[in-house]
Amino acid sequence: MEFNLLHSDKETKARAGNIISDHGEIETPIFMPVGTAATVKAVHQRELKDDIGAQIILGNTYHLYLRPGINILEQAGGLHKFIGWDKPILTDSGGYQVFSLAEMRKLKEEGVTFQSHIDGSKHTFTPENVVDTQRSIGADIIMALDECPPGDSDFRYAQKSMELTHRWLKRGVDHFHNTGPKYGHSQSFFPIVQGSSFKDLRKQSAEFIAGFGMEGNAIGGLSVGEPAEVMYEMTDVVTDILPQDKPRYLMGVGTPANILESIALGVDMFDCVMPTRNARNGMLFTSEGIINIKNKKWENDFSPIDTQGPTFVDSFYSKAYLRHLIISKEILGAQIASIHNLGFYLCLVKEARKQIIAGTFSKWKNNMITKVSERL
RNA sequence: GGGGAGAUUCCAGAGCGGUCAAACGGGGUAGACUGUAAAUCUAUUGGCUAAGCCUUCGGAGGUUCGAAUCCUCCUCUCCCCA
């Protein structure tokens, strides 16, 4: 994998670049749709590629390991072939499940033991075996196993947690170097900065992570309950330290406004379930603002979903129709809303990239944040 | 024509003398959702001059300190047998 930094904004820390992987190029800043269980929920691969313009998607190690299982993925020849996606894939290590399935796991020095949310069976993830699993999945970018502590963790816990993540990282990197890809294309390994809401810890973690000289670096443990201001502050501290010539990935972020602010802080890659999950729950992100399509006010609004929207659904279907579908829990509603939201996200980062290259990012960003945050 | 069951707040359906503005669902309305245990979850759902008051349980009377709950008559629905 290669990263070319093309432009750096003068007023902010925003950057435009290219990531070149064996599955093609990614133009940064980029948003990566989340496809946890071998599918970006409610969206076809063809729509993802042709309509939405996704350049890379996510998968999740924990979920894929439980179902369909590594054996099936290996028989399929890897996740790309299994799902019919020939562009890059990034897999999360299962670190987030340490956080989201907190009540069903045990943390130890060796690794983390989960109780499957499907059948209750016990499984242990270690820094080493998640590398193996991600080798079998065949993701282009694989993530280190980390502990993602809650946003309101106290200093002592945050420090302990960060140190564990660092020890795990060392083991993970070693194992990554001692193993190789299984399907012919190369894989990159991203370490993850932790440190919760403490600047000192974040700094320390970023320095530690940078020391490994991996092909990209991630910022984790944010957007987990802390105020947005804290998230920006932490991101700001970290991007000052992480190498300029490697892509930075802010994990799990966020709202359109979060993404624009973080681009300004020097982040290149994002992922978030928000556009897809919220779509299924009736929330639409548009360039005019946020729409709760379930609200009565849209009942007889037969105007297009988003006249400025980049995807075919935006002009093809009306708000009233989409409202009907979502309220009736019709599957098509989830499909339309998901395509719309993802299309909007991808379009947003594409425009941000243009503005960075044109040198007009700062002004555009501030204006855009006000618009996209408004509630319609 | 004979016999039986029932009418409850938007729907459906509990309640069978006070703790009932009335359970549980559904529907309605609003909110949440950030490396997906989520096509999920939460709140609210008679009115008001709102820790109180007013009007509601088919209709009209009655019994009782007190009735959605008991009695009488009326209206209407449904089921079974002819």
pTM greater than 0.90 (yes/no): yes
Q: State phi, psi for A215 to the nearest 5 degrees.
A: -80, -10
Cα A201–chain centre separation: 23
d(CA A191, CA A210): 9
Nucleotide whose C1' lies closest to the alpha carbon of residue A90: B35
Strand order across the beta sheet in which A57-60 lies: A57-60, A89-92, A141-143, A188-190
- Which nucleotides of chain B have an atom under 7 angstroms from any protein CB? 28-41
Nucleotide whose C1' lies closest to the alpha carbon of residue A224: B34
User: What is the CA A293 to C1' B8 distance in angstroms?
Assistant: 35
Assess contact for A228 and A209: CB atoms under 8 A: no
Catalytic residues of A: 92, 271
Predicted confidence at residue A41, as pLDDT, reads: 97
User: What is the CA A330 to C1' B11 distance in angstroms?
Assistant: 22
Predicted confidence at residue A151, as pLDDT, reads: 87
d(CA A300, CA A281): 20
Q: Among candidates A43, A3, A27, which has minimal Cα distance to A313?
A: A43
Q: Among candidates A190, A194, A214, which has minimal Cα distance to A206?
A: A194
Cβ–Cβ contacts within 10 Å for residue A367, how many? 10
Q: State phi, psi for A24 to the nearest 5 degrees.
A: 110, 180
User: What is the CA A239 to C1' B51 distance in angstroms?
Assistant: 54
User: What is the CA A324 to C1' B77 distance in angstroms?
Assistant: 35
Length of chain A: 376
Assess contact for A177 and A126: CB atoms under 8 A: no
Cα A85–chain centre separation: 17
d(CA A92, CA A74): 18
Residues paired with A31 in a beta bridge: A270
**Neighbouring residues of A174: CB distance < 8 A, sequence distance ≥ 6:** none
Q: Among candidates A186, A179, A239, which has minimal Cα distance to A209?
A: A239
Per-residue pLDDT of chain A (376 residues; tens, 9 = 90+): 999 999 999 999 999 999 999 999 999 999 999 999 999 999 999 999 999 999 999 999 999 999 999 999 999 999 999 999 999 999 999 989 988 888 888 999 999 999 999 998 999 999 999 999 999 999 999 999 999 998 889 999 999 999 999 999 999 999 999 999 999 999 999 999 999 999 999 999 999 999 999 999 999 999 999 999 999 999 999 999 999 999 999 999 999 999 999 999 999 999 999 999 999 999 999 999 999 999 999 999 999 999 989 999 999 999 999 999 999 999 999 999 999 999 999 999 999 999 999 999 999 999 999 999 999 9
ipTM for the whole complex: 0.92
d(CA A329, CA A341): 18
Predicted confidence at residue A99, as pLDDT, reads: 86
Nucleotide whose C1' lies closest to the alpha carbon of residue A92: B35
Predicted confidence at residue A98, as pLDDT, reads: 82
Q: Among candidates A156, A154, A240, A229, which has minimal Cα distance to A193?
A: A240
User: What is the CA A225 to C1' B42 distance in angstroms?
Assistant: 18
Q: Which two tokens stand for residue A273?
A: 């379930």
Using alpha carbons, list the distances in angstroms from residue A372 to A289, A364, A367, A368: 4, 12, 9, 6
d(CA A144, CA A311): 34
Nucleotide whose C1' lies closest to the alpha carbon of residue A227: B34
Predicted confidence at residue A346, as pLDDT, reads: 98
